[in-house]
Structure 1
Amino acid sequence: MNRLTRTAGRLADGSSALARRIGARMAAWVARARREDLTGWRASLGCWLRLALLTLGLYLLWRLVRALPALLCVLSAGWIAAAWRAGRAPSPEAADEAPADAPAAPDVEAVRRLLLDLMGTGSGVHLRTVLAHLQEHGQWEGRTVTDLRVHLARLDIPVDRGVKVSGTPTWGVRRRGLEAPSPAEPQEPSTAPSTAA
C-alpha cells in the first residue's frame, strides 16, 4: 500500500467516524428535549423545535457559503484536519490498553441499579432516557440507542421494543425484567416440607 492510498484511507475513515459522531450528538441533543412528564404529541414538541433549529442552522450555513464561496475552503480545511485526527490509527501501546469509557468487565449489578434508579417508581425506562442520562454525565458520547441496546443484551439485561413510559411505547427496559432472578444465578432448593405421603 503506497503513501497516497494510506492517506486517502485515513481521511475516509476519519470522515466516516466524524460524520457518525456529529450525527449521534445531534440526535442525542434532539432526543434530550423529549418531555417524559407529558404524553402524546406534546411530549415531542421540544424534539421538533430542536430539529427545526438544526434545519434552520444548516440552511443558514448553506446560504452563507453561497454568499461567500471562499468560506467553503475554510470549512473544508477544518473538516480535513478533524478527519485526519479522527482517522489516526491507535498506537500499539494504546491497543494493549482497554479504553477508559468501555471497561473490560462491566459490573452488571451497577447497570441494574442505574436502570432501577432511572425508573424511579415507574414500571420501565426508555433507552433514549438512559442514553441521555449517560451522555449528560460525560459517558457514551457519540453512541446511539442501538449501541446501548446491544450493550445491554451482552450483559443479559432484557430489552423490549414496547416499553410504555408516559404512554409512548419504544425500546426500553422493564422493571420486572430487572428484578427477575438472572438465569446464571443458582436457584435455591425449597426448604418447605414435602406434603407427599
Structure 2
Amino acid sequence: MSRLARPAARLAAGSAAIARGLGRRVTAWVARGRRDDLVGWRAVLGCWLRLAFLLFGLYLLWRVVRAVPALMWLLGGVWTVAAWRAGRPAVKEPSEAPADGSTEAAPALDREAVRTLLLTLMEGGSGVHLRTVLAHLQQHPPTAAQTAGWKVPDLRARLVALKVPVDRGVKVAGVPTWGVRRRDLEAPSPAATQEPSTEASTAA
C-alpha cells in the first residue's frame, strides 16, 4: 500500500495544480471581456459572451465523448501524464538572498521601464488605454506571471504608486477611458525641475 501512496499523492497534487491553473486562466480570460468604457450590463456583456462560449465548448466535448466513449481513454491518459508532470516535487534551489541577510524582494515594476513600455505601446499616438497595457503585460513573460488575475484598477494602483500620471478621459480611437497620455510622460519630472533651483540657491 505504501508503494502506491506516493504515486497517488503525486497524481492528486498534479491534478489539483492543473485544475487551479485552468481555473485562473479561464477566470482571467472571462474577466478581460469587461469593457471599462461602458457602464451597466453593456460593460459585462463581453464576460457573459465568453462564458457562454466556454459552456458551449464543454457541451460539444460532452457530445463527442458520448458519441465516442473510447475517447475517454485518450483524455484520461493525457490528463494522467500532465498530472504526473505537474505533481513533480519542487527542487529547492540555493537561496539568492543578499549578503547582508535582507529578505526584501526587489520591486516588480520599475518606473523607467514602465514609461518606456507605455511610449512603445502608444505607437506614435497621443495616449494608450490601461486595458491595452494590461493585456500586453498578461501576454508577455515575465510580467505575465506577475500580473495574472489583475484588472484595470490593479494596474492603475501600481502606476499611481510609481507616480505615472493616469487619467480616466484618455481618448484612443475616439473612445475615452482610463489611460496615460504621451504629454504627461514626456513632461519633466518634479525632481528634475527642482534640481536647478536647489543648485542655484546653493551657489548663491
Superposed pair shares fold, TM > 0.5: yes
Which residue, 134, 137, 150 being the options, matches 2:140? 137
Maintained 8 Å contact 1:21/1:142: no
Please tell me whether Structure 1 or Structure 2 has the larger radius of gyration of its CA atoms: 2
What corresponds to 2:67 in structure 1?
67
Alpha-carbon separation, structure 2, partners of 1:142 and 1:82: 24
Maintained 8 Å contact 2:138/2:148: no
What corresponds to 1:39 in structure 2?
38
* Superposition pairs of residues 111-190 of structure 1, within 5 angstroms: 132-139=135-142, 140-141=144-145, 144-145=148-149
Q: Per the alignment, in what secondary structure is the counterpart of residue 96 of structure 1?
A: coil
What corresponds to 2:28 in structure 1?
28
Q: What's the TM-score once normalised by structure 2's chain length?
A: 0.55
What corresponds to 1:106 in structure 2?
108
Structure 2, unaligned stretches of length 5 or more? 97-104, 163-167, 169-174, 178-197, 199-204
**Sequence identity of aligned pairs in percent?**
54
Name the structure, 1 or 2, with higher relative contact order (CA <8 Å, separation 6+): 1
Maintained 8 Å contact 2:11/2:84: yes
What corresponds to 1:5 in structure 2?
5
Alpha-carbon separation, structure 2, partners of 1:61 and 1:142: 32
Maintained 8 Å contact 2:34/2:45: yes
How many residues are paired up? 177
Q: What's the TM-score once normalised by structure 1's chain length?
A: 0.56
Q: Displaced runs of 4+ in structure 1, greater than 4 A? A: 107-115, 128-131, 141-144
Structure 1, unaligned stretches of length 5 or more? 158-162, 169-190, 192-197
What corresponds to 1:52 in structure 2?
52
CA shift in 2, pair 1:20/1:132, >3 Å? farther
Maintained 8 Å contact 2:28/2:149: no
